[in-house]
A and B are shown apart, each in its own frame.
Chain A
Amino acid sequence: MDKEAITKIRNDFPILKQKINGNRLAYLDNAATMQMPVPILHKINSFYQTSYANVHRSVDTLGFNATKQYEEARGKVASFINAADANEIIFTSGCTDSLNLVAATYGEQNIHEQDEIVLTIMEHHSNLLPWQQLAKRKGAILKYIDLTESQTLDLDDVKKKITAKTKIVAIAHASNILGMMNPIEEVIKIAHQVEAVVVVDGAQAVSHFPIDVQKLDADFYAFSGHKMLAPTGIGVLYGKKNLLNQMPPYRFGGEMIGNVTKYNATWADLPQKFEAGTPNIIGAIGLGYAIDYLHEIGMNRIQTYENELSKYLMQKIEKLDFVAIYGPKENHTGVFSFNLKNIHPHDVATALDMQGIEVRAGHHCAQPLMRRLGVESTVRASLSFYNNKEDIDQLIAGISETEEFFNGTK
């Protein structure tokens, strides 16, 4: 993408023109949540003003049209990740909810004593705790795939940890800390050889590169809308139809039933079986608008441009000898976790904030990984397609100023 294209995109995000603490805003916390562009806001506004109604309930015109748009959004999600069938798309409240759904239904049904659940050491707590707690309930065994010396996923360890006893493998598509994509296609192949089911956490993947769940052969794929321009409170669980069909419902209530008698009930077909109660209608429709917006730019173009930005950032930050960077140096994604020598990440984040640079500091909901890296927390700057080189220059200058402020070097 050229400068003109980026400027045009940035004009859709008025928040980027704000000053923060008197300085130009460099919004570099996209891994936490992404900003919403004006065209999506307008469409959401217009939906509320002209088309709002509950879905799947009434036969009136408004209700019918709202239902149509809600189901169209499901179709957009299906094609966005290349699912074979829109009924394999379950709307949830977020990635966390999606992962809990799988653990509470598929996991509850299929995990028994002494079965093995394999995770990676880099998992976000939302793809770790549901499995850890399930394993505790069932007396199952939890195993963690480790990192290589260059802090990528250790494929040899994958082959060691996945055994004939493995029933579930849970893995992030892209790390929210280490700035890399996992070789999930290979992991899935290995897992399928022992007939384990693979749950992929796609939270950090969806707005950054094209996704094809069929090509990956993922059994489950979870993500959140708010990390891809949509509102908060909407998420997606993709599941293979044969698996979803076998699973018991997650929650009980309206719209998820076939027939209810005083002492018994049958369940609706997919996807309604997993969508009890009034869903997040505007969230789902907003997610559809977000997908339209991403498609207009093009996921391949987004990936190419973000790669360019990541390379630029890596080149610059690598030169700062007082900065430790986590994760691999090659093929880095737009997520950069780092620490400044002798300065606590929270102090760094406050100093960067004073300079208009919004980053995150903390353990990023991955305490086992932090322990593995031998740190308590890190600073994290994360890119998206609306960032530009100016943002990166501002970050690098800000880091140097911070170093000078606290350590008084230079």
Chain B
Amino acid sequence: MGLNNLRTLYQALVLDHASHPRNKKEMKEATAMQTVHNPSCGDTVNIFVKVQNEKIVDVSFTGSGCTISQASASMLTQSVKDKSVSEALEMTKIFSDLAIGKEHTSDEIEKLGDAAVLTQVMQFPARIKCATISWWALEQALLKKG
């Protein structure tokens, strides 16, 4: 059966993040929060960030959804923690660019850290949005804060 292909998307690391999501909690002292819905399936991701001196000192998420959306949000929180706002915004741009078919070098993709694994989702066009919504939420949260 064709399920071998599925391994490229559902790698061990992805499954691990989905079943044991990191930083999945509300953040009371967040400096910004953003919710993004995936209207086609009802999935929701809320991203919380705490920014101090242009640096993301804490980041977390809540919400519910498929393996991909949960793993993506979880990996995102690990990848952007302690990054500067501009570094994180660059990461969101790389991820969103890949989602719409723009190329990036492997050096750039490596900047995503563990979350780079999820760029495999680009081979499953119907699921790109699942992986991307948390990055959109992060971008909006970061642009929001004063």
Give A contacts to B, CB under 8 Å. Answer: 21-23, 343-347, 350-351, 353-356, 361-363, 367, 370, 376-377, 398, 401-402, 405-406
Contacts and interface: CB of A to CB of B under 8 A. Distances in A.
B127 A350 contact: yes
B17 to A, nearest CB: 14
Interface residues of B, number: 21
A345 B41 CA distance: 9
A356 B130 contact: no
Contact of A376 (B6, B43, B68): B43
Contacts of A346: 41, 43, 65-66, 68, 127, 130
B2 A354 contact: yes
Contacts of A356: 2
A130 B94 CA distance: 41
Given A344-B67, A350-B126, A376 B3 contact: no
B64 interface: yes
B42 A350 contact: no
Interface of B: 1-3, 5-6, 9-10, 15, 40-43, 64-68, 124, 126-127, 130
Contacts of B43: 346, 376
B6 A354 contact: yes
Nearest to A353: B126
Contacts of A405: 3, 6, 10
A367 B66 CA distance: 17
Contact of B2 (A344, A355, A377, A406): A355
A401 B9 CA distance: 16
A370 B67 contact: no
B128 to A, nearest CB: 12
B5 to A, nearest CB: 5
A102 to B, nearest CB: 25
Given A346-B68, A356-B2, 10 more contacts: A346-B66, A353-B126, A354-B1, A362-B41, A376-B42, A376-B64, A376-B65, A401-B3, A405-B6, A406-B10
B6 A350 contact: yes
Given A350-B124, A376-B64, A362 B40 contact: yes
Nearest to B70: A344
B71 to A, nearest CB: 10
Contacts of A21: 2, 5
A343 B66 CA distance: 8
Contact of A355 (B3, B9, B41): B3
Contacts of B67: 343-344, 347, 406
Contact of B42 (A353, A354, A367): A367
